Amino acid sequence: MSKKSLLLLILTLIFTALIVRSIYSPNMVKPAGIDNSSISDSTRFAKKIPVLVYHHLLKDEENTMKNNASIISVENFQEQMELLYNEGYSSITLEELEGFILGERELPSRSVLITFDDGYKSNYEYAYPILKEYGFISTIFMITDRISDTTVSFDPTQIQYLSWEEMELSQDVFKFACHTHKLHYLTDDNKSYVVTKPRAEVKEDLRKNLELVHNPYFAYPYGHYTDETIQILHDLEYKMAFTVKEGFVKTGDPIFELNRQGVFPSTTIAKFKIKVGLSREPLLKKLIKSFLNLIRPKH
């Protein structure tokens, strides 16, 4: 091969690589709201929405239970919110997500629903100021029986829950929804009380939960549910329910079996980017995950 044709071959390869990169790099997509004039509707509006789920937060130095998957560091949370802000994400409400699922409304391509489960005091202490700094709103699924009647000072060595007063004070950032009244427990063989207690008891608990929170959206404790749980929610006129099954939410999804993307101490910023749709998951991993989801039992 002559020097000239070798050079031509190299140039062709570089050019092809650049084209492939520009097609597959999600960073090439312009964020919504900056210059929409030249972007088609398919990129301006969301096709799938990430619903993030957090639990408890502690500063790195306060966390003595580093292997607890429910505690993420304040530092990581700050970094994740900063990324969402810099990438032009808008935080949405449950009602907006509902409209999107029912096909009644469009949402910006970079929309995210930020949720917390259980109602820890750390959400008020640490997440609230960070969310407020970036102009984000969020939903906390509350275990209403654990809401504190009095506001005490924050103690990172204890598991503390939000007080009614703190809920009132943080309404500019937090919306509150349902996560059982007092059935957030597991049996000895690791099944949620929601799927093991008698139907009448579960129904009364979820009715009470709704009466105290006044917001007909539910998250299943531990992600456990059965067809009967869905029937109870339906009878009580709940509008949506969330699992902890990984994946995005799309228009037409089953309204009582919605996916959420869990954020854990092991969630690196690279993994977080995949969870919010900024990067793609490697194809092989995606195939394995889809297969596991297919064969996984419902509860």
Residues near Zn ion, by CB under 5 A? 117-118, 221
Please report which residue ranges of 123-218 form alpha helices under DSSP H: 128-133, 164-169, 193-196, 199-213
Minimum CB distance to Zn ion, residue 117 (Å): 4
Residue 83: how many CA atoms within 13 Å on its side-chain side? 20
Q: Which of 32/142 has CB closer to Zn ion?
A: 142
Minimum CB distance to Zn ion, residue 123 (Å): 12
Distance CA 167, CA 164 (A): 5
Give the nearest residue (CB) to Zn ion. 117
Q: Which of 134/185 has CB closer to Zn ion?
A: 185
Question: Residue 64 in contact with residue 155, Cβ under 8 Å?
Answer: no
Q: Which of 107/178 has CB closer to Zn ion?
A: 178
Minimum CB distance to Zn ion, residue 39 (Å): 39
Q: Which of 56/203 has CB closer to Zn ion?
A: 56
At 291, list the tokens.
């297969």
Minimum CB distance to Zn ion, residue 180 (Å): 8
In 89-206, beta strands by DSSP E: 90-91, 111-118, 138-142, 174-178
Minimum CB distance to Zn ion, residue 170 (Å): 19
Q: Which of 117/166 has CB closer to Zn ion?
A: 117
Distance CA 56, CA 74 (A): 9
Residues forming beta bridges with residue 114, ordered by sequence position: 52
